[in-house]
Amino acid sequence: MKLDSMYQDVILDHYKHPHGRGLRQGDAEAHHVNPTCGDEITVRVRLSGETIEDVSYEGQGCSISQASASVLNELLVGKDLTEAQRIQETFLELMQSKGRVEPDDAMEEVLEDAVAFAGVSKYPARVKCALLSWMAWKDATAKALSEGKTA
């Protein structure tokens, strides 16, 4: 697998120096696995109204899956849910592009370090690695919101 070296450095840096790793207090969590690669992630979210106060996580697996969780933490903590959803949808669009989307400035502004995963979108098996923590985050957020309503 050959990635643009700058992008590869960003991914490896997040893998070696993960942001916000470790599980902390939260409203809800989701555990997702990617059996084709052996990746696992638990994502826990803490909301304050519409604001994401924290996204904590713990997991194991390949560098792409773990770096992606670190990028997710960096991008989403402190954002409101509407903005976070826009970021998640943009990332999903990039990852489902099969390498056809060349990130432009507008996309880079939304995704920041997450544009580094652009090269990964060419490898269908690795796309699941990159999306694992994002799907777990979406799941955990949905749980947190539905529990909030019933509380």
The least distance separating Zn ion from the CB of residue 125, rounded to whole angstroms, comes to: 8
- Closer Cβ to Zn ion, 62 or 92, answer by number: 62
CA–CA separation, 143 vs 131, rounded Å?
Answer: 18
Instruction: Find the binder of Zn ion among 12, 31, 33, 62 (CB under 5 A).
Output: 62
Tell whether residue 121 is a contact of Zn ion (CB under 5 A): no
Which helix H or strand E contains 54, and what residues bound it? strand 51-60
Q: Which of residues 4-33 bind Zn ion (CB under 5 A)?
A: none
Q: Decide: is 129 part of the binding site for Zn ion (CB under 5 A).
A: yes
Instruction: Supply the minimum distance, in Å, between the C-beta of residue 33 and Zn ion.
Output: 10
Binding mask 29-58 for Zn ion (x = CB under 5 A): --------x-x-------------------
Stretch that binds Zn ion, among 51-59, 67-75, 111-119, 124-132 (CB under 5 A): 124-132
By CB neighbour count within 10 A (0-12 exposed, 13-18 middle, 19+ buried), where does 130 fall? Answer: buried
Q: Nearest to residue 116, comparing CAs of 126, 124, 108?
A: 108
Going by C-alpha positions, the residue among 71, 65, 85, 73 that lies closest to residue 128 is 65
How many residues bind Zn ion (CB under 5 A)? The answer is 6
Q: Which residue, 28, 63, 62, is CA-closest to 42?
A: 28
The residues that touch Zn ion, with contacts defined as CB under 5 A, are 37, 39, 61-62, 65, 129
